[in-house]
Structure 1
Amino acid sequence: MTEQAQAQASAEAVTAALHDVAALGGFFVLPVGGPDEGWHPLDRASACGFTDLSAAVARRYRTGEPRIGVSIAHLGHAARLWSPALACVLLHGIVPDLTELQRADDGPALRLPRPAGWCAERLPDPALALNEQVMRHLRALEAGLRVKIAPRLLDGNAASALVGSAHVLLSARPELREPLTDLTTRLLGTGRLAGTGVITGPDLTFRRRSCCLYYRAPNGSKCGDCCLADRDGPSA
Protein backbone atom coordinates (compact mmCIF):
# COMPACT_ATOMS: atom_id res chain seq x y z
CA MET A 1 0.00 0.00 0.00
CA THR A 2 1.36 3.44 -0.96
CA GLU A 3 1.89 6.24 1.55
CA GLN A 4 -0.94 8.24 -0.03
CA ALA A 5 -3.29 5.27 0.23
CA GLN A 6 -2.40 4.86 3.91
CA ALA A 7 -3.05 8.55 4.48
CA GLN A 8 -6.46 8.58 2.82
CA ALA A 9 -9.13 10.51 4.73
CA SER A 10 -12.74 9.39 4.88
CA ALA A 11 -15.22 10.86 2.44
CA GLU A 12 -17.23 12.13 5.40
CA ALA A 13 -14.23 13.98 6.85
CA VAL A 14 -13.39 15.63 3.53
CA THR A 15 -17.00 16.68 2.96
CA ALA A 16 -17.28 18.12 6.47
CA ALA A 17 -14.02 20.04 6.10
CA LEU A 18 -15.00 21.60 2.78
CA HIS A 19 -18.45 22.47 4.09
CA ASP A 20 -16.91 24.17 7.12
CA VAL A 21 -14.33 26.28 5.24
CA ALA A 22 -16.99 27.43 2.75
CA ALA A 23 -18.36 29.59 5.58
CA LEU A 24 -15.25 31.77 5.11
CA GLY A 25 -16.99 32.93 1.93
CA GLY A 26 -16.11 33.74 -1.64
CA PHE A 27 -13.21 31.79 -3.01
CA PHE A 28 -13.33 29.26 -0.15
CA VAL A 29 -16.53 27.68 -1.46
CA LEU A 30 -15.95 24.27 -3.05
CA PRO A 31 -19.16 22.23 -3.04
CA VAL A 32 -19.12 18.44 -3.14
CA GLY A 33 -21.56 16.30 -5.12
CA GLY A 34 -24.92 17.30 -6.48
CA PRO A 35 -26.46 17.01 -9.98
CA ASP A 36 -23.98 16.68 -12.84
CA GLU A 37 -25.91 19.02 -15.11
CA GLY A 38 -24.19 22.36 -15.58
CA TRP A 39 -20.68 21.11 -14.85
CA HIS A 40 -17.79 19.80 -16.95
CA PRO A 41 -14.30 18.46 -16.14
CA LEU A 42 -11.86 21.21 -15.24
CA ASP A 43 -9.18 19.54 -17.35
CA ARG A 44 -11.39 20.05 -20.42
CA ALA A 45 -11.82 23.74 -19.65
CA SER A 46 -8.09 24.10 -19.05
CA ALA A 47 -7.27 22.43 -22.37
CA CYS A 48 -9.38 25.16 -24.03
CA GLY A 49 -7.41 27.84 -22.22
CA PHE A 50 -10.42 29.26 -20.36
CA THR A 51 -11.17 31.25 -23.50
CA ASP A 52 -14.74 31.90 -22.37
CA LEU A 53 -13.77 33.27 -18.96
CA SER A 54 -10.87 35.29 -20.35
CA ALA A 55 -13.14 36.91 -22.94
CA ALA A 56 -15.76 37.65 -20.29
CA VAL A 57 -13.14 39.29 -18.07
CA ALA A 58 -11.82 41.36 -20.97
CA ARG A 59 -15.36 42.60 -21.68
CA ARG A 60 -15.98 43.38 -18.03
CA TYR A 61 -12.84 45.50 -17.82
CA ARG A 62 -13.35 46.96 -21.29
CA THR A 63 -9.91 46.02 -22.53
CA GLY A 64 -8.88 45.01 -26.02
CA GLU A 65 -5.66 43.44 -24.75
CA PRO A 66 -6.37 39.69 -24.54
CA ARG A 67 -3.58 38.89 -22.12
CA ILE A 68 -5.17 41.13 -19.46
CA GLY A 69 -8.33 39.03 -19.54
CA VAL A 70 -6.27 35.84 -19.46
CA SER A 71 -4.16 36.97 -16.52
CA ILE A 72 -7.06 38.15 -14.39
CA ALA A 73 -9.06 34.98 -15.12
CA HIS A 74 -5.99 32.91 -14.20
CA LEU A 75 -5.51 34.84 -10.96
CA GLY A 76 -9.13 34.28 -9.94
CA HIS A 77 -8.88 30.59 -10.78
CA ALA A 78 -5.74 30.25 -8.67
CA ALA A 79 -7.56 31.82 -5.72
CA ARG A 80 -10.43 29.34 -6.08
CA LEU A 81 -7.93 26.49 -5.95
CA TRP A 82 -5.77 27.71 -3.09
CA SER A 83 -8.44 29.03 -0.73
CA PRO A 84 -10.42 25.90 0.19
CA ALA A 85 -7.38 23.64 0.03
CA LEU A 86 -5.26 25.84 2.29
CA ALA A 87 -8.11 26.27 4.78
CA CYS A 88 -8.80 22.54 4.90
CA VAL A 89 -5.17 21.82 5.76
CA LEU A 90 -4.94 24.47 8.48
CA LEU A 91 -8.38 24.01 10.03
CA HIS A 92 -8.96 20.29 9.59
CA GLY A 93 -5.64 18.65 8.80
CA ILE A 94 -6.90 17.45 5.41
CA VAL A 95 -5.34 17.89 1.98
CA PRO A 96 -8.30 17.65 -0.42
CA ASP A 97 -7.81 15.62 -3.59
CA LEU A 98 -8.57 18.06 -6.42
CA THR A 99 -7.91 15.61 -9.25
CA GLU A 100 -11.53 15.34 -10.42
CA LEU A 101 -12.43 19.01 -10.12
CA GLN A 102 -15.19 20.30 -12.35
CA ARG A 103 -15.96 23.82 -13.55
CA ALA A 104 -19.38 25.38 -14.00
CA ASP A 105 -20.57 25.66 -17.60
CA ASP A 106 -21.55 29.29 -17.09
CA GLY A 107 -18.75 30.68 -14.95
CA PRO A 108 -15.60 30.17 -12.86
CA ALA A 109 -17.14 28.21 -9.95
CA LEU A 110 -15.58 24.83 -9.11
CA ARG A 111 -16.91 21.69 -7.46
CA LEU A 112 -15.84 18.16 -6.59
CA PRO A 113 -18.17 15.42 -7.82
CA ARG A 114 -16.89 13.11 -5.07
CA PRO A 115 -15.06 13.85 -1.81
CA ALA A 116 -11.51 12.55 -1.47
CA GLY A 117 -8.35 13.62 0.29
CA TRP A 118 -5.61 12.74 2.74
CA CYS A 119 -4.88 13.25 6.42
CA ALA A 120 -2.03 15.76 6.39
CA GLU A 121 -0.31 14.29 9.44
CA ARG A 122 0.04 10.94 7.67
CA LEU A 123 1.66 12.40 4.56
CA PRO A 124 5.47 12.61 4.36
CA ASP A 125 5.26 16.22 3.12
CA PRO A 126 1.80 17.86 3.38
CA ALA A 127 3.01 21.16 1.89
CA LEU A 128 4.36 19.40 -1.18
CA ALA A 129 1.11 17.43 -1.56
CA LEU A 130 -0.95 20.62 -1.27
CA ASN A 131 1.27 22.40 -3.78
CA GLU A 132 0.85 19.61 -6.31
CA GLN A 133 -2.94 19.50 -5.96
CA VAL A 134 -3.16 23.18 -6.89
CA MET A 135 -0.26 23.64 -9.28
CA ARG A 136 -1.16 20.69 -11.50
CA HIS A 137 -4.35 22.50 -12.48
CA LEU A 138 -2.52 25.78 -13.04
CA ARG A 139 0.05 23.99 -15.21
CA ALA A 140 -2.77 22.44 -17.23
CA LEU A 141 -4.38 25.84 -17.76
CA GLU A 142 -1.06 27.38 -18.77
CA ALA A 143 -0.55 24.62 -21.34
CA GLY A 144 -3.97 25.33 -22.86
CA LEU A 145 -3.71 29.12 -23.10
CA ARG A 146 -4.28 30.56 -26.57
CA VAL A 147 -2.57 33.85 -25.66
CA LYS A 148 1.13 34.12 -24.95
CA ILE A 149 1.74 34.99 -21.31
CA ALA A 150 5.11 35.09 -19.56
CA PRO A 151 5.39 31.97 -17.37
CA ARG A 152 6.75 33.99 -14.44
CA LEU A 153 3.73 36.30 -14.61
CA LEU A 154 1.53 33.22 -14.17
CA ASP A 155 3.73 31.95 -11.34
CA GLY A 156 3.40 35.37 -9.71
CA ASN A 157 -0.37 35.11 -10.05
CA ALA A 158 -0.28 31.73 -8.30
CA ALA A 159 1.82 33.15 -5.47
CA SER A 160 -0.34 36.27 -5.14
CA ALA A 161 -3.49 34.13 -4.98
CA LEU A 162 -1.92 31.90 -2.34
CA VAL A 163 -0.94 34.79 -0.07
CA GLY A 164 -4.27 36.51 -0.67
CA SER A 165 -6.07 33.35 0.46
CA ALA A 166 -3.79 33.10 3.48
CA HIS A 167 -4.46 36.74 4.38
CA VAL A 168 -8.24 36.20 4.34
CA LEU A 169 -7.85 33.08 6.46
CA LEU A 170 -5.64 34.96 8.93
CA SER A 171 -8.23 37.73 9.25
CA ALA A 172 -10.93 35.16 10.03
CA ARG A 173 -8.79 32.94 12.28
CA PRO A 174 -5.97 35.02 13.81
CA GLU A 175 -5.06 32.17 16.14
CA LEU A 176 -3.66 30.38 13.07
CA ARG A 177 -1.00 33.05 12.46
CA GLU A 178 2.06 30.89 13.21
CA PRO A 179 1.13 27.67 11.36
CA LEU A 180 -0.45 29.65 8.52
CA THR A 181 2.62 31.81 8.07
CA ASP A 182 4.88 28.76 8.23
CA LEU A 183 2.87 26.85 5.62
CA THR A 184 2.51 29.85 3.31
CA THR A 185 6.24 30.55 3.51
CA ARG A 186 7.02 26.91 2.78
CA LEU A 187 4.70 26.91 -0.23
CA LEU A 188 6.27 30.11 -1.56
CA GLY A 189 9.61 28.28 -1.60
CA THR A 190 8.27 25.22 -3.41
CA GLY A 191 8.66 24.50 -7.12
CA ARG A 192 7.64 27.27 -9.47
CA LEU A 193 6.52 29.53 -6.63
CA ALA A 194 10.12 29.94 -5.50
CA GLY A 195 11.37 33.44 -6.20
CA THR A 196 7.95 34.87 -7.10
CA GLY A 197 7.90 37.32 -4.23
CA VAL A 198 8.38 37.83 -0.53
CA ILE A 199 6.19 38.19 2.54
CA THR A 200 6.82 41.68 3.88
CA GLY A 201 4.97 41.78 7.19
CA PRO A 202 3.43 39.75 10.03
CA ASP A 203 -0.06 40.11 8.56
CA LEU A 204 1.06 38.30 5.40
CA THR A 205 1.49 41.39 3.29
CA PHE A 206 3.29 40.40 0.11
CA ARG A 207 5.33 41.94 -2.69
CA ARG A 208 5.43 39.95 -5.90
CA ARG A 209 8.17 40.24 -8.51
CA SER A 210 5.79 40.36 -11.48
CA CYS A 211 2.60 42.17 -12.44
CA CYS A 212 -0.85 40.74 -13.24
CA LEU A 213 -1.41 43.53 -15.86
CA TYR A 214 -4.58 44.87 -14.24
CA TYR A 215 -3.10 48.38 -14.32
CA ARG A 216 -3.21 48.25 -18.13
CA ALA A 217 -7.00 47.93 -18.23
CA PRO A 218 -9.10 51.11 -18.59
CA ASN A 219 -9.67 52.39 -15.04
CA GLY A 220 -7.31 49.69 -13.79
CA SER A 221 -4.70 50.24 -11.10
CA LYS A 222 -1.66 48.64 -9.54
CA CYS A 223 -2.52 45.98 -6.98
CA GLY A 224 -1.25 46.24 -3.42
CA ASP A 225 1.36 43.51 -3.94
CA CYS A 226 2.47 44.66 -7.40
CA CYS A 227 6.16 45.02 -8.16
CA LEU A 228 5.32 48.34 -9.86
CA ALA A 229 3.52 49.85 -6.88
CA ASP A 230 6.42 52.06 -5.79
CA ARG A 231 7.27 53.28 -9.27
CA ASP A 232 6.23 56.61 -10.66
CA GLY A 233 4.87 55.19 -13.89
CA PRO A 234 3.90 51.81 -15.34
CA SER A 235 6.26 49.71 -17.38
CA ALA A 236 5.22 47.43 -20.22
Structure 2
Amino acid sequence: MSGTAPGYGRLAAVGPYFALDAATAPTDLPPAGFRPLREFYAPGPDAPLAARVREFGRRLGSNEPRVAASILHLGLAARFCSASLGAAVLLGAVPDLAPDRAYVRVPEQGPIDLWTPCPAAPDGPGPTDGPPPVDRLHHALVHDQLEPLAAAVRAAVPLSERLLHGNAASALAGALRMLEPHAAPGRARALVTELLDRPPLAGTGTLRGAGFRRNSCCLYYRVGPGAGVCGDCCFTRPPGRP
Protein backbone atom coordinates (compact mmCIF):
# COMPACT_ATOMS: atom_id res chain seq x y z
CA MET A 1 0.00 0.00 0.00
CA SER A 2 1.33 3.47 -0.85
CA GLY A 3 0.13 7.02 -0.73
CA THR A 4 1.06 10.52 0.25
CA ALA A 5 3.74 10.51 2.93
CA PRO A 6 3.05 12.46 6.14
CA GLY A 7 3.57 16.15 5.51
CA TYR A 8 3.66 15.86 1.73
CA GLY A 9 0.07 17.13 1.55
CA ARG A 10 1.48 20.57 2.26
CA LEU A 11 3.30 20.42 -1.07
CA ALA A 12 0.18 19.61 -3.08
CA ALA A 13 -1.57 22.58 -1.46
CA VAL A 14 0.92 24.92 -3.15
CA GLY A 15 0.05 23.61 -6.62
CA PRO A 16 0.16 20.53 -8.87
CA TYR A 17 3.83 21.04 -9.77
CA PHE A 18 4.75 20.69 -6.08
CA ALA A 19 2.76 17.51 -5.39
CA LEU A 20 4.75 14.40 -4.54
CA ASP A 21 3.69 10.84 -3.75
CA ALA A 22 5.87 8.58 -1.64
CA ALA A 23 5.95 5.21 0.00
CA THR A 24 4.76 5.07 3.57
CA ALA A 25 6.75 1.90 4.31
CA PRO A 26 9.99 0.42 2.93
CA THR A 27 8.10 -2.44 1.26
CA ASP A 28 5.63 -0.20 -0.61
CA LEU A 29 5.43 -0.38 -4.38
CA PRO A 30 4.44 2.50 -6.68
CA PRO A 31 0.78 2.81 -7.68
CA ALA A 32 -0.49 1.48 -10.99
CA GLY A 33 0.79 3.29 -14.05
CA PHE A 34 4.10 4.40 -12.57
CA ARG A 35 7.34 3.27 -14.22
CA PRO A 36 10.99 3.82 -13.28
CA LEU A 37 12.21 7.26 -14.23
CA ARG A 38 15.33 5.70 -15.80
CA GLU A 39 13.04 3.97 -18.34
CA PHE A 40 11.43 7.31 -19.23
CA TYR A 41 14.94 8.66 -19.90
CA ALA A 42 16.02 5.70 -22.05
CA PRO A 43 17.79 6.67 -25.31
CA GLY A 44 16.58 5.88 -28.80
CA PRO A 45 13.94 7.25 -31.19
CA ASP A 46 11.20 5.03 -29.76
CA ALA A 47 11.99 5.71 -26.10
CA PRO A 48 9.30 7.38 -23.94
CA LEU A 49 11.02 10.76 -23.71
CA ALA A 50 11.69 10.98 -27.46
CA ALA A 51 8.08 10.02 -28.14
CA ARG A 52 6.95 12.66 -25.66
CA VAL A 53 8.96 15.31 -27.51
CA ARG A 54 7.28 14.38 -30.79
CA GLU A 55 3.81 14.43 -29.22
CA PHE A 56 4.54 17.73 -27.52
CA GLY A 57 5.66 19.22 -30.84
CA ARG A 58 2.44 18.03 -32.48
CA ARG A 59 0.36 19.71 -29.78
CA LEU A 60 2.36 22.92 -30.08
CA GLY A 61 1.98 22.89 -33.83
CA SER A 62 5.73 23.16 -34.24
CA ASN A 63 7.79 21.25 -36.79
CA GLU A 64 11.06 22.10 -35.04
CA PRO A 65 12.04 19.27 -32.66
CA ARG A 66 14.42 21.51 -30.70
CA VAL A 67 11.59 23.93 -29.91
CA ALA A 68 9.38 21.13 -28.59
CA ALA A 69 12.31 19.58 -26.69
CA SER A 70 13.25 22.86 -25.03
CA ILE A 71 9.74 23.74 -23.89
CA LEU A 72 9.10 20.19 -22.70
CA HIS A 73 12.39 20.29 -20.79
CA LEU A 74 11.36 23.57 -19.16
CA GLY A 75 8.13 21.99 -17.92
CA LEU A 76 9.87 18.89 -16.59
CA ALA A 77 12.55 20.99 -14.89
CA ALA A 78 9.79 23.05 -13.27
CA ARG A 79 8.28 19.83 -11.90
CA PHE A 80 11.53 18.72 -10.26
CA CYS A 81 12.42 22.19 -8.99
CA SER A 82 8.99 22.71 -7.47
CA ALA A 83 8.79 19.37 -5.66
CA SER A 84 12.34 19.54 -4.34
CA LEU A 85 12.38 23.21 -3.38
CA GLY A 86 8.96 22.92 -1.77
CA ALA A 87 10.01 19.93 0.33
CA ALA A 88 13.24 21.62 1.39
CA VAL A 89 11.53 24.83 2.45
CA LEU A 90 8.24 23.59 3.89
CA LEU A 91 9.35 20.25 5.34
CA GLY A 92 13.08 20.73 5.93
CA ALA A 93 13.72 17.61 3.83
CA VAL A 94 14.98 16.75 0.35
CA PRO A 95 13.16 14.03 -1.61
CA ASP A 96 15.08 11.35 -3.49
CA LEU A 97 14.06 11.69 -7.13
CA ALA A 98 17.17 10.31 -8.84
CA PRO A 99 16.38 8.31 -12.03
CA ASP A 100 17.50 5.01 -10.51
CA ARG A 101 15.12 5.35 -7.57
CA ALA A 102 12.19 7.57 -8.53
CA TYR A 103 9.11 6.59 -10.53
CA VAL A 104 7.06 8.62 -12.98
CA ARG A 105 3.59 8.51 -14.49
CA VAL A 106 2.85 10.62 -17.55
CA PRO A 107 -0.78 11.80 -17.79
CA GLU A 108 -2.42 12.94 -21.00
CA GLN A 109 -2.26 16.54 -19.80
CA GLY A 110 -0.67 18.42 -16.93
CA PRO A 111 2.57 17.86 -15.03
CA ILE A 112 4.05 14.40 -14.64
CA ASP A 113 3.31 12.46 -11.45
CA LEU A 114 6.33 11.65 -9.25
CA TRP A 115 6.73 8.89 -6.68
CA THR A 116 9.70 8.27 -4.42
CA PRO A 117 10.24 4.96 -2.61
CA CYS A 118 11.06 6.51 0.76
CA PRO A 119 9.76 9.67 2.39
CA ALA A 120 12.55 12.20 2.81
CA ALA A 121 13.74 12.51 6.37
CA PRO A 122 14.47 16.00 7.69
CA ASP A 123 18.00 16.97 6.72
CA GLY A 124 19.09 18.98 9.72
CA PRO A 125 16.97 21.75 11.29
CA GLY A 126 13.23 21.76 10.71
CA PRO A 127 11.55 24.25 8.40
CA THR A 128 11.26 26.94 11.07
CA ASP A 129 14.38 26.18 13.14
CA GLY A 130 17.23 27.12 10.80
CA PRO A 131 18.47 27.38 7.24
CA PRO A 132 17.23 24.94 4.59
CA PRO A 133 19.55 22.10 3.53
CA VAL A 134 21.38 24.00 0.79
CA ASP A 135 24.18 21.53 0.11
CA ARG A 136 21.91 18.52 0.19
CA LEU A 137 19.37 20.19 -2.09
CA HIS A 138 22.04 21.29 -4.56
CA HIS A 139 23.30 17.73 -4.92
CA ALA A 140 19.84 16.12 -5.05
CA LEU A 141 18.23 18.66 -7.38
CA VAL A 142 21.07 19.69 -9.67
CA HIS A 143 23.18 16.53 -9.86
CA ASP A 144 20.55 13.81 -9.28
CA GLN A 145 17.62 15.40 -11.14
CA LEU A 146 18.39 18.30 -13.48
CA GLU A 147 21.62 16.92 -14.96
CA PRO A 148 20.15 13.49 -15.88
CA LEU A 149 17.08 15.25 -17.27
CA ALA A 150 19.21 17.52 -19.47
CA ALA A 151 21.31 14.58 -20.67
CA ALA A 152 18.19 12.61 -21.60
CA VAL A 153 16.68 15.54 -23.51
CA ARG A 154 19.95 16.19 -25.36
CA ALA A 155 20.13 12.51 -26.31
CA ALA A 156 16.70 12.85 -27.93
CA VAL A 157 17.21 16.27 -29.55
CA PRO A 158 20.52 18.19 -29.64
CA LEU A 159 20.25 21.39 -27.59
CA SER A 160 22.90 23.61 -26.08
CA GLU A 161 23.77 23.13 -22.43
CA ARG A 162 23.51 26.90 -21.96
CA LEU A 163 19.87 26.85 -23.08
CA LEU A 164 19.02 23.94 -20.80
CA HIS A 165 20.77 25.53 -17.82
CA GLY A 166 18.76 28.66 -18.51
CA ASN A 167 15.58 26.60 -18.57
CA ALA A 168 16.47 25.07 -15.21
CA ALA A 169 17.17 28.48 -13.67
CA SER A 170 13.90 29.81 -15.07
CA ALA A 171 12.05 26.82 -13.61
CA LEU A 172 13.66 27.38 -10.23
CA ALA A 173 12.71 31.06 -10.22
CA GLY A 174 9.16 30.15 -11.19
CA ALA A 175 8.95 27.65 -8.33
CA LEU A 176 10.15 30.40 -5.99
CA ARG A 177 7.35 32.75 -7.06
CA MET A 178 4.76 30.06 -6.43
CA LEU A 179 6.23 28.99 -3.11
CA GLU A 180 6.95 32.31 -1.39
CA PRO A 181 3.35 33.04 -0.31
CA HIS A 182 3.31 29.65 1.48
CA ALA A 183 6.72 29.83 3.18
CA ALA A 184 8.42 31.75 5.94
CA PRO A 185 9.63 35.12 4.58
CA GLY A 186 13.02 34.89 2.91
CA ARG A 187 13.62 31.17 3.35
CA ALA A 188 12.85 30.07 -0.20
CA ARG A 189 14.57 33.12 -1.72
CA ALA A 190 17.77 32.55 0.25
CA LEU A 191 17.88 28.97 -0.94
CA VAL A 192 17.22 29.80 -4.59
CA THR A 193 19.77 32.63 -4.51
CA GLU A 194 22.38 30.18 -3.27
CA LEU A 195 21.52 27.62 -5.96
CA LEU A 196 21.74 30.24 -8.70
CA ASP A 197 25.19 31.25 -7.46
CA ARG A 198 26.56 27.71 -7.86
CA PRO A 199 27.57 25.90 -11.05
CA PRO A 200 26.05 24.97 -13.40
CA LEU A 201 23.29 27.55 -12.82
CA ALA A 202 25.67 30.41 -12.01
CA GLY A 203 25.53 33.05 -14.73
CA THR A 204 22.22 31.88 -16.19
CA GLY A 205 20.35 35.03 -15.20
CA THR A 206 19.61 37.62 -12.55
CA LEU A 207 17.11 37.33 -9.72
CA ARG A 208 15.76 40.71 -8.64
CA GLY A 209 12.79 41.08 -6.33
CA ALA A 210 9.94 38.95 -7.64
CA GLY A 211 11.42 38.78 -11.14
CA PHE A 212 14.07 36.79 -12.94
CA ARG A 213 15.79 37.69 -16.21
CA ARG A 214 17.57 34.83 -17.90
CA ASN A 215 20.53 35.19 -20.22
CA SER A 216 19.20 32.73 -22.80
CA CYS A 217 15.98 31.92 -24.63
CA CYS A 218 13.84 28.77 -24.42
CA LEU A 219 12.83 29.19 -28.11
CA TYR A 220 9.13 29.58 -27.34
CA TYR A 221 8.90 32.49 -29.79
CA ARG A 222 9.53 29.98 -32.61
CA VAL A 223 6.28 28.11 -31.94
CA GLY A 224 4.41 30.46 -34.28
CA PRO A 225 3.93 34.05 -35.43
CA GLY A 226 1.86 35.01 -32.40
CA ALA A 227 3.93 33.22 -29.74
CA GLY A 228 5.94 36.18 -28.44
CA VAL A 229 8.61 35.83 -25.77
CA CYS A 230 8.41 34.66 -22.17
CA GLY A 231 8.39 37.10 -19.28
CA ASP A 232 11.93 36.23 -18.20
CA CYS A 233 13.43 35.96 -21.71
CA CYS A 234 16.72 37.63 -22.62
CA PHE A 235 14.86 39.14 -25.57
CA THR A 236 12.30 41.92 -25.21
CA ARG A 237 10.64 40.87 -28.48
CA PRO A 238 10.99 37.91 -30.84
CA PRO A 239 14.24 38.05 -32.80
CA GLY A 240 13.80 39.08 -36.42
CA ARG A 241 10.38 40.62 -35.89
CA PRO A 242 9.75 44.38 -35.96
Q: Same fold (TM over 0.5)?
A: yes
- Structure 2 CA distance for aligned equivalents of residues 128 and 24 of structure 1: 24
Tell me if 1:57 matches 2:56. Answer: yes
SS for the counterpart of 2:21 is coil
- Structure 2 CA distance for aligned equivalents of residues 113 and 62 of structure 1: 34
Tell me if 1:131 matches 2:121. Answer: no
Quote the residue 1:213 is aligned against. Answer: 219
- Pick which of 81-90 and 130-139 moved more: 130-139
Tell me if 1:78 matches 2:77. Answer: yes
TM-score (norm 1): 0.83
Unaligned 5+ segments in structure 1 are 1-11
Shift of residue 131, structure 1, vs aligned partner: 2.0
Quote the residue 2:13 is aligned against. Answer: 23
Quote the residue 2:26 is aligned against. Answer: none
Tell me if 1:42 matches 2:37. Answer: yes
Identify if the C-alpha distance between structure 1 residues 39 and 235 changes in structure 2 by more than 3 Å, giving closer, same or farther: farther
TM-score (norm 2): 0.81
Tell me how large the CA RMSD over aligned residues is. 2.7
Shift of residue 105, structure 1, vs aligned partner: 4.8
Which structure 2 residues correspond to residues 89-104 of structure 1 after superposition, within 5 A? 89-99=88-98, 100-104=101-105
- Structure 2 CA distance for aligned equivalents of residues 199 and 125 of structure 1: 19
- Structure 1 CA distance for aligned equivalents of residues 30 and 123 of structure 2: 29
Quote the residue 1:114 is aligned against. Answer: 117
State the identity %: 36
Select the structure that is richer in helix.
1
Shift of residue 119, structure 1, vs aligned partner: 1.9
SS for the counterpart of 2:6 is helix
- Structure 2 CA distance for aligned equivalents of residues 180 and 66 of structure 1: 34
8 Å contact from structure 2 (residues 92, 133) kept in 1: no
- The one-letter amino acid of 1:96's match is P
8 Å contact from structure 2 (residues 220, 228) kept in 1: yes
- The one-letter amino acid of 1:131's match is H
- The one-letter amino acid of 1:137's match is Q
- Structure 1 CA distance for aligned equivalents of residues 228 and 179 of structure 2: 25
SS for the counterpart of 1:143 is helix
Shift of residue 120, structure 1, vs aligned partner: 2.8
Count of residue pairs brought into register by the alignment = 219
Which string of whole-angstrom CA distances, capped at 9 and with x for unpartnered residues, describes residues 170-213 of structure 1?
Answer: 1x32x633112111100111221111111122x2x100001111
- Pick which of 135-144 and 208-217 moved more: 135-144
- Structure 2 CA distance for aligned equivalents of residues 177 and 198 of structure 1: 20
- Structure 1 CA distance for aligned equivalents of residues 125 and 38 of structure 2: 28
- The one-letter amino acid of 2:235's match is L
- Structure 1 CA distance for aligned equivalents of residues 63 and 37 of structure 2: 26
Which string of whole-angstrom CA distances, capped at 9 and with x for unpartnered residues, describes residues 17-46 of structure 1?
Answer: 322211112201112246543111112212
8 Å contact from structure 2 (residues 89, 132) kept in 1: no
Quote the residue 1:8 is aligned against. Answer: none
- Structure 1 CA distance for aligned equivalents of residues 192 and 86 of structure 2: 11
- Structure 2 CA distance for aligned equivalents of residues 142 and 187 of structure 1: 17
- Structure 1 CA distance for aligned equivalents of residues 162 and 62 of structure 2: 22
Unaligned 5+ segments in structure 2 are 24-28
- Structure 1 CA distance for aligned equivalents of residues 121 and 201 of structure 2: 23
8 Å contact from structure 1 (residues 199, 207) kept in 2: yes
